[in-house]
């Protein structure tokens, strides 16, 4: 089954589109993992603490949400030890039945793009990702080697189209029509030969919830792309802001929350709870919000 169909099935089975971002900010890890933030802790130990924390998070997510999204940067910060933690976390999430979207935002030319595809979607053994995020700045020929690997392996891609950060407009909205429209058209075209039985493609788009009108407009241009929608929660967008990204029946989109779930214990509304209770409650709250909003 290709990525589009695996995703569709997972969203239907879980009954919600929640994507939990695995962003191990060292300084935010709760007890008993907080020694990861201490530079005096040996690096291998810091990486092990990150791994142990995320394995508990995965345990909390399994069977409840369709997918998790480990963020490469926080693993890379711990060098080769972090890379090992990445492999173990990805493998553990897959064993737990979760789809894994590797948030690596890679993009490079020709044979280098191919090496990235092999690294994350083809040659990684148990640590293979179901999909990765891709930066399109280098153009179509930088994406083609990734598409080829997706055709061969059934993997998926999420191309950055409109990101959720406040400063994203300067380049992404440049020109008339804006650059995002040109990228969006390419995403739809790249996805044509990678459609699943479900009707949408394995080639998706990252479009931030922090630009709701744009989200709905880009959904028109990319009628067959699964959306990965960041910006909900800690970044300020609410459920209503994400709705323009969905296809009928609440399909075709995942909404990400990272800090809002993992570090819920830091939020006043969960004061006094253990980190895991707080994360669990925050996740339930998110699931409920989306189940309600998408039922209408």
Residues 19-48 as x/- pattern, contact with its own copies by CB under 8 A = ----x-x-------------x---------
227 touches 157 (CB < 8 A): no
Tokens of 75: 């693993």
Min dist. Cβ of residue 13 to its own copies (A): 30
Residue 171 is a binding residue for its own copies (CB under 8 A):
yes
Rounded to the nearest 10 degrees, the angle between the axes of helix 79-95 and helix 43-61 is: 20
Work out whether 140 is an interface residue with its own copies (CB under 8 A).
yes
- Restricted to residues 50-109, the positions that interact with its own copies (CB under 8 A) are 71, 73-74, 76-77, 79-80, 82-84, 86-87, 105-109
Count of CB atoms situated within 10 Å of the CB of 175 = 11
C-alpha 92/C-alpha 68 separation (Å) is 11
Q: Does 169 bind its own copies (CB under 8 A)?
A: yes
Binders of its own copies among 184-203, rule CB under 8 A?
186
Which span (60-68, 179-187, 193-201, 267-275) binds its own copies, by CB under 8 A?
Answer: 179-187
Residue closer to its own copies (CB basis): 10 or 183: 183
Stretch that binds its own copies, among 62-70, 110-118, 191-199, 236-244 (CB under 8 A): 110-118
Read off the tokens for 235: 């970044």
Gap between the Cα atoms of 250 and 296, Å rounded: 9
Number of residues that bind its own copies (CB under 8 A): 58
Distance, in Å, from the CA atom of 149 to the CA atom of 178, rounded to the nearest integer, reads: 29
Least distance (Å) between residue 234 CB and its own copies = 10
Tell me whether residue 69 is one of the annotated catalytic residues: no
**Toward its own copies, which CB reaches closer, 172 or 279?**
172
179 part of the interface to its own copies, by CB under 8 A = yes
Q: How far is the CB of 7 from its own copies (least distance, A)?
A: 23
Helix orientation angle between 275-295 and 43-61, rounded to the nearest 10 degrees: 40
Task: Give 102-165 as a DSSP string.
Answer: EEEEE---HHHHHHHHIIIIIS-GGG--SEEEE--TT-HHHHHHHHHHHHHH--EEEEEEE-SS
Which active-site residues does the annotation give?
Answer: 105
């Amino acid at each position: 089954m290709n990525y589009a169909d695996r995703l569709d099935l997972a969203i239907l089975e879980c009954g919600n589109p929640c994507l939990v971002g695995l962003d191990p900010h060292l300084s935010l890890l709760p007890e008993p993992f907080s020694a990861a933030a201490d530079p005096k802790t040996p690096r291998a130990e810091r990486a092990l603490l990150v791994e142990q924390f995320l394995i508990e998070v995965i345990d909390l997510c399994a069977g409840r949400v369709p997918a998790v999204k480990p963020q490469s940067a926080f693993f890379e910060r711990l060098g080769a030890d972090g890379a090992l933690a990445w492999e173990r976390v990805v493998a553990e999430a897959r064993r737990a039945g979760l789809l894994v979207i590797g948030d690596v935002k890679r993009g490079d030319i020709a044979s280098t793009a191919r090496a990235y595809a092999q690294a994350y979607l083809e040659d990684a053994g148990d640590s293979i990702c179901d999909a990765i995020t891709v930066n399109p700045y280098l153009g179509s020929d930088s994406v083609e080697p990734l598409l080829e690997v997706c055709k061969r392996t059934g993997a998926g891609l999420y191309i950055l189209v409109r990101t959720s950060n406040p400063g994203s407009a300067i380049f992404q909205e440049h020109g008339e029509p804006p650059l995002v429209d040109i990228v969006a058209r390419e995403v739809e075209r790249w996805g044509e030969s990678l459609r699943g039985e479900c009707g949408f493609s394995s080639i998706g788009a990252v479009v931030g919830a922090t630009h709701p009108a744009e989200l709905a407009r880009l959904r028109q241009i990319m009628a067959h792309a699964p959306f990965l929608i960041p910006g909900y929660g800690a970044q300020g967008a609410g459920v209503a802001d994400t709705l323009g990204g969905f296809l009928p029946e609440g399909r075709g989109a995942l909404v990400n929350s990272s800090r809002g779930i993992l570090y819920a214990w830091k939020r006043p509304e969960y004061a006094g709870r253990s980190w895991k209770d707080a994360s669990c409650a925050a996740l339930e709250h998110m699931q409920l919000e989306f189940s309600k909003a998408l039922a209408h």
